[in-house]
Amino acid sequence: MVMVEVPEYEISGKVEISSKETALIIVDMQNDFAHPDGKLFVPSARNIIPKIKELLDRARAAGVKVIYTQDWHMKDDPEFKIWGEHAVANTWGAEIVEELKPLESDILIKKLRYDAFFGTPLDHILRIYGIRNLVITGTVANICVLHTAGSAALLGYKVIVPIDAIAALNDFDYHASLRQISFLYRGILTKVENILFK
């Protein structure tokens, strides 16, 4: 084991953003990742469900566009060589956890890889609705959350990540992700309670 020190990153206080120009993205809060019976269960993903739900309820009340991403794999997906079989299309494991079930008005993006923009219509959909700000939540912090945040920043979106609404497999991955989002992509790190939709 190697001990490393994570460079500091800033946690912002109050963050006010336009409801009309903002989307809440809930990354991969699926049974296979966020339910104890899931194939790739991330224990800390259970802990963030109440925070995501709190933010989700406020976002919906403010008219913020809500977008869910779903890992969505074919039965012989090459990615299974890395992680094993998970989130197979049209299975229980690929569905969003019951506590955060989407509404009919929400948008679901089914993705084959970590990045929610890669090979999906996400960017096109966001531009149709005039979205400029993305509040990104979910799991796993250093995988699908980080890759989605990175692409969002490179495409010119303002990225806001509530640090109490993302989950990782370990502390190193969690803090390294926050450092990258802040330092490399100039994303805003804050807490759920500090995000204000106006």
Residues 6+ apart with CB under 8 A from 127: none
Residues 6+ apart with CB under 8 A from 102: 66, 68, 96, 108
Closest CA to 191 of 48, 11, 5, 7: 11
CA distance 105 to 139: 22
Q: What is the dihedral of CA 15, 19, 21, 24, to 10 degrees?
A: 80
Cis peptide before 42 (omega within 30 of 0): no
- Annotated catalytic residue 111: yes
Q: Which of 111, 115, 158, 164 is catalytic?
A: 111
Cβ(66)–Cβ(60) under 8 Å? yes
Q: Which of 32, 115, 144, 164 is catalytic?
A: 144
- Annotated catalytic residue 106: no
- The catalytic residues are 28, 111, 144
